[in-house]
Amino acid sequence: MGFIEEIKRSFCLDQGIAEPVYRAVIFGDGGAYVENVKAIIKYSCEEVLLSLKSGGLKISGSELYIKKYCAGDVVVCGKITTIQRT
């Protein structure tokens, strides 16, 4: 069984449910890469609020800056303390 299929099974996503609406990869405390972002709602050095296809994602920390923003992908760098779903 493939790796992705195993992940889906552990998260109970293998029963006809659509692909995950976003994917977030966190690199220690130094950065986060988020896929399938619709737009940036708010951006400041302490908080980045992203709009996803359903819902939103809030990244909190300090000295935050956006390393790259292109179609659907956002890379946020800085001292990340919290990532929470909104």
Partner 1 sequence: MRKDNDNSKDLGLYCVYEVYGLNTERFMNAVKKRGVTLYDIKKYSNKRLRLAVKFTESQKFFAIAEELCYNIKKVGEKGRAKQMFCLFSSLGLIIGAIAFILIAVLANDFILDINYYGSGKIYHREVQEYLSGKGVEEYKRFSDIDLAMIEDGILADNEHLSFASCTKHGNKLLIELVLSSEKVKGLNGNVYQMHSTENGVVESVKVYRGTAVVSVGDMVREGDLLVDGYAVIKDQTIKINVLASITLAVEKTYEYKLVGDDEQENAEIFALAEVGDEDIISTQVQKIPLEGEYLYKVTVKYRRVLYAG
Instruction: Answer for the pair 82, 72: CB distance below 8 angstroms, yes or no.
Output: no
Host H or E run for residue 30:
none
DSSP state of 17: P
Residues that bind partner 1 (CB under 8 A): 33, 35, 39-45, 65-73
CB-nearer residue toward partner 1: 13 or 69 = 69
Residue closer to partner 1 (CB basis): 7 or 25: 25
Nearest distance from C-beta of residue 37 to partner 1, angstroms: 9
| Least distance in angstroms from the C-beta of 66 to partner 1 | 4
Cα separation of the two ends of the chain? 33
